[in-house]
């Protein structure tokens, strides 16, 4: 019973803190900051206290008459990984925010939505009812939107538009998938869906596709990733850190339960996820090579790292009863990515706090003499590159082993292709991270020598040091986290632990070989092709700015065509309705006049005369009503714009499609 109460507390505590903190912050910001740090620390301690109980068996709590179907919360070992890493990252990021936001406006609003986002994120990972999960998922989209647009400048507002637009669009598609799911299965509980969906035939592929698209927007799956390079640079750095380190995982969590729980590791769906993951890995890394803003590099890097997790999810279905190594690698990379990516964003945030600039062409040489900042940033870089001794090496080794397992199982040349893509993508990761580190922390620049050291506060460095220690500890002692990963894998029918010897000579050689390829790409492509010289100055160019853009060349024209065509359709419909009302109005007037005229040719008594007057008055009032209605329609026609028409027509199309699919 105590565990169930704690489950409810960790869901409600951040939401309550958001309200209380906002009220306190209106009078004393220091007390509000202290409260938020304490609350996120308590949240982490409460989640940690549930470790033994969650490992022993799932903790369940059902509250009826909430969200229509009741609220069903569940915490097992699999979900515990997501909840713990989220609260851990949030605690450190909250501490970091108190230093980062000192010179920002609207701090009170930021912290309120920051805590609400934590509450909704925890709700996503705890939800056993998939409709509850959807509700928290949408709440998270709206609360995180407030973080994205925090600066309220043009760039932030434009980024906010694409973020909320993609989130709402993805949410609508996800909801349609859930409607179909319930129509055919009659259940919403995630643990029951796998059994029920086997009986509904091939419609399950449409349902799973809609759900994966809905979650895929947040997971930045190609081609739904267009919001990523705009949103991450626009948001304040602590918000960017949780967007990449935690909120990205909400979409991946949804895809994971869809492929494994809902579709029971279906081979077709798993192969699609695997291919999309390989595309994410390569395309995200390739685009990161060309960027000059550090946040944009990390944004595309997050998209690439999500590809590793998607590859693991896909391999789990492909390998069937041999999927243990794939599930281990996926869960391990979910943990590791959160640690090193948040560390890199925090290091980037310190640079921005001081210089208010993140273009490597401008800040080159800034960190050469900032030894502490250089050290923690280097740890993050070595981790994401997969260097032996750091946590990224552990999860990447597991995922690489899973690809080899698939090759031995199917003996297809395509698995060799997948391994090559995996290796090249990892090498490209090393190349674009070297681009950042060499330019910012190794090149000389006299204007930054010995300056700004007093701007780097311990309050901002402390969370980075904690993350660095965690990264190195996992890298040196991977078995320490392998136990919880193994317990989490039991949710997918994997019994027992697999023995993994990470630091074998072949694994170390494979990692170092990949890093050497990355160094060659950096020297031969980044420095030789992307780096230009103008007299004594050197700078990087970004040719990708002029390349084909999904947003500009596909999505924007498609939306414009949809809006204009729907506007034209509603123009015809609207004018038709207005003309029809005018016609009825004229007919009523004509009928009214004929009735009164006909009564003059015979003698009528007083009672009939009174009735005739009433009838004439009634028809006259009816005529006035229709005339008013016609004026109203005219006014509506003048005031309604094409955007509103488009919304109506899109909603109508979705409704028609839904009816067709159901019936």
Whether residue 483 lies inside any domain: the answer is: yes
Burial (CB < 10 A; 0-12, 13-18, 19+), residue 109, is middle
| 202-204-210 Cα angle (round to 5) | 125
8 Å CB contact between 149 and 157? yes
Are residues 575 and 455 part of one domain?
A: no
Does 41 reside within a domain?
Answer: no
Q: How many CA atoms lie within 13 A of 288 on its CB side?
A: 32
Range of the domain at 595: 550-662
d(C-alpha 428, C-alpha 434), whole Å: 10
**Domain annotation covers residue 365:** yes
Q: What is the pLDDT of residue 660?
A: 45
Our count of domains for the chain comes to: 2
Q: Are residues 524 and 653 in the same domain?
A: no
| Residue 602 shares a structural domain with residue 456 | no
Q: What angle do CA 54, 57, 58 make, to 5 degrees?
A: 70
With respect to residue 349, please indicate whether it lies within any of the assigned structural domains. yes
- Strands (DSSP E) contained in 41-104 are 59-63, 71-75
Residues 390 and 437 reside in one and the same domain: yes
408 with 528, same domain?
yes
529 and 457 in one domain?
A: yes
CA-nearest of 515, 302, 511, 501 to 396 is 511
Q: Are residues 439 and 536 in the same domain?
A: yes
Query: Does residue 16 lie within any of the structural domains?
Result: no
Q: Where are the alpha helices (DSSP H) in 71-220?
A: 77-100, 107-126, 130-148, 154-185, 190-197, 203-218
Q: Return the closest-CA partner of residue 170 out of 206, 126, 138, 144.
A: 138
Cα-Cα-Cα-Cα torsion 19, 22, 27, 32, nearest 10 degrees, comes to: 100
Beta strands 71-75; 59-63: pairing state: antiparallel
> Is the residue at 559 inside a domain?
yes
**569 and 533 housed in the same domain:** no
Distance CA 509, CA 504 (A): 9
Residue 557 to residues 71, 220, 614, Cα–Cα distance (Å): 41, 21, 58
Structure tokens at 224: 């739904």
Give CA–CA dist 467/89, Å, rounded: 9
Predicted local confidence at residue 662, as pLDDT: 42
3-class SS of residue 547:
coil
Residue 362 CA neighbour count, 13 Å, CB half: 10
Within a domain: 583: yes
Whether the Cβ atoms of residue 329 and residue 402 lie closer than 8 Å to each other: yes
- By C-alpha distance, which of 147, 168, 170 is closest to 159? 147
Strand runs labelled E in 384-484:
none
Q: Kindly state the tokens that stand for 23.
A: 């009220």
Out of 543, 571, 591, pick the residue that ends a domain: 543
Give the model's pLDDT for residue 657.
Answer: 44
CA 226 vs. chain centroid, Å, equals: 12
Residue 111 resides in a domain: no
Per DSSP, the residues of 571-604 read HHHHHHHHHHHHHHHHHHHHHHHHHHHHGGGS--
- Domain termination residue (choose one: 490, 512, 543): 543
535 and 624 share one domain: no
Pull the structure tokens for residue 530.
Answer: 């992307």
How far apart CA 290 and CA 277 sit, in angstroms, is: 21
Mean pLDDT by 10 residues, the chain (663 residues): 85 94 91 93 94 90 82 92 95 91 84 94 93 93 92 89 90 92 88 86 91 93 89 91 91 94 90 95 94 94 95 93 92 94 94 89 86 92 94 94 92 92 95 94 77 64 93 91 88 81 91 95 92 83 81 74 77 79 75 50 48 51 52 49 44 47 43
Q: How far apart are the first and last CA of the chain?
A: 44
Structure-token match 């979409």, residue found: 251
Q: Among 543, 558, 593, where does a domain finish?
A: 543
Same domain, residue pair 423 and 478: yes
Q: What is the pLDDT of residue 556?
A: 72
Return the pLDDT at 498. 80
Q: Can you tell me whether residue 540 is helix, strand or coil?
A: strand
Q: Are the C-beta atoms of residues 212 and 186 closer than 8 Å to each other? A: no
∠264-267-273 over CA atoms, to 5°?
90
In a shared domain, residues 529 and 558: no
In this structure, the answer to whether residues 480 and 627 fall within a common structural domain is: no
């Amino acid at each position: 019973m105590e565990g169930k109460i704690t489950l409810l507390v960790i869901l409600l505590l951040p939401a309550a803190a958001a309200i209380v903190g906002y009220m306190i912050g209106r009078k004393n910001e220091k007390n509000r900051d202290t409260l938020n740090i304490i609350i996120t620390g308590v949240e982490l301690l409460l989640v940690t206290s549930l470790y033994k109980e969650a490992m022993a068996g799932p903790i369940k709590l059902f509250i009826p008459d909430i969200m229509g179907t009741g609220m069903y919360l569940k915490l097992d070992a699999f979900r515990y990984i997501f909840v713990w890493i989220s609260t851990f990252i949030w605690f450190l990021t909250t501490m970091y925010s108190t230093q980062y936001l000192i010179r920002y406006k609207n701090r009170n609003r930021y912290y309120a939505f920051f805590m609400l986002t934590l509450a909704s994120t925890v709700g996503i990972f705890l939800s056993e009812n998939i409709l509850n999960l959807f509700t928290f998922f949408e709440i998270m989209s709206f609360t995180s939107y407030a973080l994205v647009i925090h600066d309220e400048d043009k760039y932030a507002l434009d980024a906010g538009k694409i973020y909320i637009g993609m989130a709402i669009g993805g949410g609508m598609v996800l909801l349609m998938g859930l409607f179909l799911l319930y129509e055919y299965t009659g259940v919403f509980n995630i643990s029951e869906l796998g059994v029920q969906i086997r009986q509904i035939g091939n419609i399950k592929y449409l349902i799973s596709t809609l759900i994966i698209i809905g979650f895929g927007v947040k997971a930045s799956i190609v081609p739904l990733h267009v919001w990523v390079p705009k949103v991450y640079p626009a948001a304040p750095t602590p918000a960017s850190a949780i967007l990449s380190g935690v909120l990205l995982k909400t979409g991946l969590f949804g895809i994971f339960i869809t492929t494994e729980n809902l579709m029971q590791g279906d081979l077709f769906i798993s192969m699609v996820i695997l291919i999309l993951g390989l595309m994410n890995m390569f395309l995200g890394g390739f685009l990161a090579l060309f960027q000059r803003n550090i946040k944009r590099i990390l944004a595309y890097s997050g998209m690439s790292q999500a590809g590793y997790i998607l590859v693991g999810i896909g391999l789990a279905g492909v390998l069937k009863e041999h999927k243990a190594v794939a599930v281990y690698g996926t869960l391990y990379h979910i943990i590791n990515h959160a640690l090193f990516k948040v560390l890199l964003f925090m290091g980037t945030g310190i640079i921005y706090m001081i210089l208010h600039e993140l273009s490597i062409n401008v800040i080159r040489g800034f960190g050469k003499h900032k030894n502490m900042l250089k050290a923690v940033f280097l740890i993050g870089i070595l981790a994401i590159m997969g260097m032996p001794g750091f946590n990224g090496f552990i999860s990447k080794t597991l995922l690489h082993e899973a690809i080899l397992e698939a090759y031995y199982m199917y003996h297809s040349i395509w698995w060799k292709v997948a391994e090559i893509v995996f290796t090249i993508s990892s090498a490209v990761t090393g190349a674009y991270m070297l681009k950042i580190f060499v330019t910012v922390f190794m090149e000389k620049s006299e204007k930054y020598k010995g300056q700004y050291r007093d701007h780097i506060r311990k309050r901002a460095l402390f969370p980075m040091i904690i993350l660095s220690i965690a990264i190195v500890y996992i890298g040196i002692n991977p078995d320490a986290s392998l136990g919880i990963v193994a317990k989490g894998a039991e949710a997918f029918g994997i019994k027992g632990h697999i023995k993994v010897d990470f630091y074998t000579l072949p694994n170390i050689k494979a990692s170092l070989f990949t890093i050497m390829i990355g160094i060659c790409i950096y020297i031969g492509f980044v420095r030789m092709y992307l780096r230009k010289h103008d007299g004594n100055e050197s700078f990087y160019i970004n040719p990708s700015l002029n390349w084909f853009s999904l947003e500009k060349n596909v999505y924007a024209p498609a939306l414009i065509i949809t809006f204009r065509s729907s506007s034209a359709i509603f123009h015809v419909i609207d004018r038709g309705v207005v003309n029809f009302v005018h016609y009825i109005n004229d007919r009523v007037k004509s009928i009214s006049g004929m009735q009164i005229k006909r009564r003059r040719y015979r003698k009528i008594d007083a009672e009939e005369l009174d009735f005739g007057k009433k009838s004439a008055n009634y028809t006259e009032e009816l005529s006035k009503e229709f005339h008013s209605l016609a004026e109203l329609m005219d006014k509506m026609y003048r005031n309604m714009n094409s955007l509103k028409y488009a919304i109506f027509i899109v909603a109508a199309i979705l409704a028609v499609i839904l009816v067709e699919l159901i019936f």
